[in-house]
Structure 1
Amino acid sequence: MNHQHLPFIILLITGSVICLHPEDMGAKLNDKKQGDRVYPTKNERIRQDHAFKLPQHESLDQLNDNNQRFNFEINHSSEDSVFSASSVIKRKDFIKKQRAKFKIPFDLMYLEEMNETLLPCSPAATGLDSEVTAAVADAIRTVIVTHLHLVFMSEPDICLLNMLWAKGIVLELLDTHSWWIRLFDIDYQSHTQHVLVGSLEWIVVTMEKVKLLYNNSSMNAFNTRWIWVPSFVESDESVSTPWPSRKVSFSNVLNELTSSLQEGMRGIVVFSDRKPSHLYPYETTNASLIKRYVKIGSITAPGDGSWTLKTSSSWFHGNFNILRPLWPRPSFDLQNRTIRITCLQKPTVFEYKEGGGLDEAVGYANDLMLIARRHLNFTDVLVPIDGFGNKDSNGNWNGMVGVLHRKEADIAPLDFTPSYDRSEVVEFGYPVGEDIVLILSKAPAEITKPFLLLQIFSLEVWACIFASALSLGIALEILVKIESILSHKSSWKTWTTRQIGNSLKIFLYQGSTHWPLGAGGRIAASSGLLIALVVGSLYIGSITAFFAIPFRSKPIDTVEELLRSSVRLAIRSKTNTYSTMVQEEDGILHKGRDRVGLFSGTEINTWEFFRIIADGTYALVDVYSSAVGSANSFEKRNEKCKFYISKEAVRTDADVFAFMKNSPIFYQFDKTMQWLRYFGIIEHTKRRYYSVACEVRVSSGGIRPMSVIQVQGSFYVLGIGLFFGFVIFLVEVIWPNAP
């Protein structure tokens, strides 16, 4: 290679590198500033966050041109009918693709922090100025975004989309038709957020229709957040916009929106009247740099049933000036508001008097309502009804559930067990306690044992005692015989059974004059005396224990014991216990379905029903509050218990209060019950009503004399002894010469 051409080759290679990587080369030169420390600009920070590089624009005109092409593509794209009535798209992927296509930077609203000149998002063209879009983005960030829907009356506002994208807010962009379809598919318990952008008239008409969904319990008022953005433009014949050209004050916006809402809704309105703010801290002659004053109103409900939209804050220069909470919690002062309470007669839970109110009723649920009334300041009206509520063959609900579903009452303060079917028409609150399903059966009875004196020991023990006495007698007889032979007083040919009788007398605590005289015989006899002492002590102790603690029949503590017994099952009809534990094949009581007797709630509260429980014909399987609450009505203090409560629970259910769906007092009552349970007030209240009277031990005032039942066994043994003695006497008379 010619060395003269070497400089030209180096220059060519260097120039190619610079041409291929101008941006990287410039970045490396900029990184050398301020002592090798890198201070990225705003665009560079955004590029780092979004995984692809943004181009450097030579001029603002080029950026504006690309932005206009981007806006046109967004509004007129035919790809997948982006904004057609049948399309629901995620704005994140679509706008990201369009940005990459037209090379639009993410900080579209402001080129640099030092440059406050507004970019081509023009209020006259879109209906929303940059301050409103920024305020809307900040307002959305005041809620926990789960399912955010952005709906425009007409064409989407690109400035607002850009701002929400820059803030990192994930949402669904919907046209009005698709949004309405989505509303009907939303589950009642879902947490959703909705941003409506359009004319005031359109927003008012839309919310009037939304109220129908609230009234039909299709939407949850407490879980839904609304952000209304009325958009107006000034008269300009050169600009065609979908919004009416008129000036409206913020107070007019609040008043018109208030009339379209209903109690329980939660939302804010973001509005700018296009007046320069007096709060702008810098003097400038450039009108485009003056930040406009954005007003925000929120719903205020004092608790008496009224509601209104009031100014709650303002947004200026990226900050909120809070006057009152944007999302205020419902008032805990109901201002003597009338609350309709549906109820039924249930012992220990809620027992009302005809024509009376909470003051005349009794029960632990009634006591909780009295506490809530003092705390929440309301007036009560009782709406009595029969039954908790079930769906009939026509699909209509009866009982308390039906009353709440028809919005004839606000709350049912009874111990409901939540179920899926009921949750579709009413709303259940926080559990006020646990209600176990148990078995209520006949109380264990004292067992009379006529032959107790013989039943204290088993047959094996009696056999051992007799064998021990016989063995001891034979051993003593041998020892006595050996002693007689050694002393030449007797011979091996003469035998007696005297020592066998003596050994039997030992176990009967009887004496004898013919004990062995030798040391061996006395040691053997002493061992027999020791065994007799132990056996006799055990025998006497067992008799004493029987007199002190009488024998009782074995109670029913588990489902297995209930199914093994001959007792039939009594269950309340139309309850979760029957449907889930008996009817279902995997239910714990399904095997005993042939022995189930169904009873209505009215029958269970009568003595005729509990009489067949007390005599052991049936055993009631029901929740604690119903079974024990009703049974206590027939128990008396200082008397023997008629019923027995199983020690093991069949199942544990939750006790909850039921509310009308979208009830404006749901939050207040639910929070009150949570506090009462947290501080133990609910358990303390229930304990007063569920103490079993017959379990209380009361002093009898002295030792009670023993009854004939307790000592009848000894008389039976005496009678048997006399009978056998008489039989033996007859044998001796008939056969006097018998051996």
Structure 2
Amino acid sequence: MFSHQSQLFSQLKFQHSFYRVIIAGLTKEQMEIVITAKKLKKTRHILGIVKGDKPKHYEIFINTLYWGGGLVHAAGWRGRAFTTVSLDYFPDKISNLRQNPLNVITFEFPPSIIYHRDSEGKLLYRYGWDVSVVEALAQAFNFTIVYKEPPPDERWGDKQPNGTWSGMIGQFSRDEGDVGIANLYITNRQGRRNHQDFSTPFGDDKSCYLARVEPPLPHWMSLALPFQTTAWIASMIGLIITGPILYLIARASAKSKYEERHLQSLSYSILYVIGDLLRQPSGSLPLRTSTQIFVVFLGLACMILTIAYTSNLTAFLTVTRHPKGVETIKELYESGKMVFDLNPFFQRYMSGSENRYLRALSERFESIPNYDDIQPKVLDGEGVMIQSKGYLLYVSAHLAIPQGKPRVRLMKECFSPFSIGIVYQYGSPLKHQFDLVISWMFEAGITNRFFIDAISRSQQLKKQEEKMKETVSPETYEEEEEEGGVIPLGIDHLQGIFIILAFGCFVSTSVFFLELALALFLK
């Protein structure tokens, strides 16, 4: 008889959070076996009626759910009346969990879950965005958090060839956890909802790319930066044609022998223009009115041009310039860079995208389980890392050098926005009331505050660690700003001057030896 009833219960498809189950005709020992069956162990209310030792005597038991498991005696029937008056046979077992433990499955994934360790690597405590949400739920429902982790390198989990799941999802499918947190995207990818229930969202996130900040341009290039390319071309054209124009105007005049002797030389006219441009005008002035007018406007133009250049050059010499990096998915595809991540989750999304560049990038995807192995590849410019925006913001903040200068950045174009939530066991009775509190926190902006506090706290702890270790060294950054934000110029800033001087010496020496060789040849 009991075997037949056990088979019946195994076939029932209860929605555990909403059903009340009454069972009669079993012994207490049989009842305890039934309530631990997978289909009934998370049912909110089970009431069992067990026949007593005497005729017309019955005992009533209720399940305790999260209050310790098993059955508790609720009342007895003694032929004419209950032994307990006004008993609530279906008490609220969720609002106050009486400090009983709930297994929370998680792993380190900042800023959702951040592990703070001592100098020897021992875990001291956890904090973060998701941790704050669970801690708030623990206060609201009075339960004790017991953290459990999935096996190493399995993290969220993936579907195996035999149909089972690894990682967190596998633990929920085996009823090893009550709540799961780890920046969880609310999605039914690969049938995840068949093994776990998602909460109402408490935040939003999207998939972004983390790329390195390109190394700064050499300071000698600052000489070219004050003008745009078109301005340089226009200036060069003006310089090339102005000398010959001055030469032609002077040659066309025949009234001044002095003017004929100097300005009527093409090389002298060109040097005259260059002298004006370098604010070193010739001591000889043109005598012809037309030539004088041309020279006046030439001097005015050269003055404006040189003032504009020198003023802008001062700024560029004191500011570190970085080349423009990739910002869009199309530019990332065209750059030929690799795409890295901790698991193949994002590769599947990219491969199924309507964006042809995303589909192409999925073919350049490489899954590396350890972030410490991805970081050097990103910093070397070998590729980019794809992950949730929240995680990448945390990484970029922690990869900044002591002066706050970033080493990595988020590309401007992201994709696939997702809602973030926690997960429960499939059909968990916790879901209804937990979701209500989560929605209150989200609507009040508390969960967003949790995210900001997690980033801020991690940065403060990092600064404290750096201060204790005294890790600031000249090799970690290019230069320190002195008080007032003024940077003294060094050899590195002025390297362009020496390059020009060296180039001039080389050209001058080459021409000299060429002239010397021609003179000897003509003799």
Tell me which interval the TM-score lies in, with the shorter structure as reference length: 0.7 to 0.9
Query: Which residue of 500, 506, 509 corresponds with 1:723?
Result: 506
1:630-709 maps to which residues of 2 (within 5 A)? Answer: 630=395, 634-638=399-403, 640-690=405-455, 700-702=482-484, 703-709=486-492
Q: 1:503 to 1:554 in 2, by over 3 A?
A: closer
In the other structure, the counterpart of 1:362 is 127
Question: Which residue pairs with 1:58 in the alignment?
Answer: none
The answer as to whether partners of 1:302 and 1:334 remain within 8 angstroms in 2 is no
Task: Verify the 8 A CA contact 1:439 1:557 in the aligned structure 2.
Answer: no
2:368 aligns with 599
Match of 2:237 among 453, 461, 464: 464
Q: 1:478: how far off?
A: 4.4
Partner amino acid, structure 2, of 1:477: A
Structure 2 length-normalised TM: 0.72
8 Å CA contact 2:340–2:367 kept in 1: the answer is yes
Separation in structure 1 between the aligned mates of residue 270 and residue 347 of structure 2, nearest angstrom:
68
Please give the alpha-carbon distance, in whole angstroms, between the structure 2 residues aligned to 1:550 and 1:630.
23
Say whether 1:473 aligns with 2:263: no
* Partner in structure 2 of residue 240 of structure 1: none
Give the Å deviation of 1:393: 1.8
Answer whether contact 1:385 1:399 (CA < 8 A) is retained: yes
Give the Cα separation in 2 of the matches to 1:333 and 1:595.
51
1:424 aligned partner, one-letter code: N
What SS does the aligned partner of 1:690 have? helix
1:102-501 aligned at under 5 Å gives the runs 212=10, 218-222=13-17, 264-265=43-44, 304=67, 331-351=94-114, 360-386=125-151, 387-420=155-188, 421-448=191-218, 450=220, 452-453=222-223, 456=227, 458=229, 460-474=233-247, 476-478=249-251, 481-484=253-256, 495-497=264-266, 498-501=268-271
What's the TM-score, normalizing by structure 1?
A: 0.53
Q: How does 1:37-116 map to 2 (within 5 A)?
A: none
Letter in 1 for 2:498: F
In structure 2, distance between residues paired with 1:667 and 1:330:
12
Query: 1:571·1:598 contact (CA, 8 Å) conserved in 2?
Result: yes
* 1:710 counterpart (480, 485, 493): 493
For residues 405-438 of structure 1, the C-alpha deviation after alignment (integer angstroms, 9 at most, x for no partner) is 2222211122212332111111001112112111
CA contact (8 A) 1:330 1:668 kept: no
- 1:733 correspondence with 2:506: no
Separation in 1, partners of 2:147, 2:140: 19
CA deviations over 1:618-669 (Å, ceiling 9, x no partner)? 2111223444445655545325433222122132222121100221222222
Cα distance in 2 for partners of 1:666, 1:206 equals 32
428-437 vs 537-546, which moves further = 537-546
Residue deviations 1:515-562, cap 9 Å, x none?
123544332211111211222123223422321333212222221111
Query: Secondary structure, in 3 states, of the residue corresponding to 1:504?
Result: helix
Residue aligning to 2:52: none
Alpha-carbon distance in structure 2 between the residues aligned to 1:491 and 1:332: 105
Secondary structure of the equivalent of 2:286? coil
Q: CA-atom RMSD, angstroms?
A: 4.5
The equivalent residue for 2:375 is 610
Q: How does 1:545-584 map to 2 (within 5 A)?
A: 545-575=315-345, 577-582=346-351
Count of residue pairs brought into register by the alignment: 449
Measure, in 2, the Cα distance between the counterparts of 1:491 and 1:669: 97
Flag structure 1 segments of 5+ consecutive residues without an equivalent. 1-204, 229-257, 269-298, 311-322
| Cα-to-partner distance string for 1:76-123 (whole Å, 9 max, x where unaligned) | xxxxxxxxxxxxxxxxxxxxxxxxxxxxxxxxxxxxxxxxxxxxxxxx
Q: Shift of the alpha carbon at 1:588?
A: 4.8
CA contact (8 A) 2:172 2:425 kept: yes
Query: Which amino acid in structure 2 is aligned with residue 395 of structure 1?
Result: G
Could you say which residue in structure 2 is the equivalent of 1:233? none
Cα distance in 1 between the residues matched to 2:290 and 2:73: 111
> Which amino acid in structure 1 is aligned with residue 96 of structure 2?
D
- TM-fit CA distance, 1:503: 3.0
Residues 152-192 of structure 1: CA deviation (Å, up to 9, x unaligned): xxxxxxxxxxxxxxxxxxxxxxxxxxxxxxxxxxxxxxxxx
Q: Please tell me whether the aligned partners of residues 300 and 309 of structure 1 are also in contact (alpha carbons under 8 angstroms).
A: no
Structure 2: give runs of 5+ residues left out of the alignment.
Answer: 23-34, 48-61, 76-85, 118-122, 464-476
**Cα separation, 1, equivalents of 2:376 and 2:102:** 40
- Corresponding residue SS for 2:247: helix
Change (3 A) 1:439 1:352: closer
**1:221 corresponds to which letter in structure 2?**
H
Q: CA deviation at 1:595?
A: 2.6
Give the drift of 1:368.
1.9
Give the Cα–Cα distance (whole angstroms) in 2 for the partners of residues 359 and 668 of structure 1. Answer: 31
Identity percentage of aligned residues: 18
The alpha-carbon distance between structure 1 residues 210 and 370, as it changes in their structure 2 partners (threshold 3 A), is farther
Cα distance in 2, alignment partners of residues 351 and 521 from structure 1 = 76
Query: How has the CA–CA distance of structure 1 residues 366 and 384 changed in structure 2, closer, same or farther, with 3 Å as cutoff?
Result: same
Counterpart amino acid of residue 680 in structure 1:
G
Larger Rg, first or second structure (1 or 2): 1
2 CA distance for matches of 1:693 and 1:352?
A: 13
- 1:701 CA displacement: 2.5
- Given the superposition, is the C-alpha separation of residues 731 and 662 from structure 1 closer, same or farther in structure 2, using an over 3 Å criterion? closer
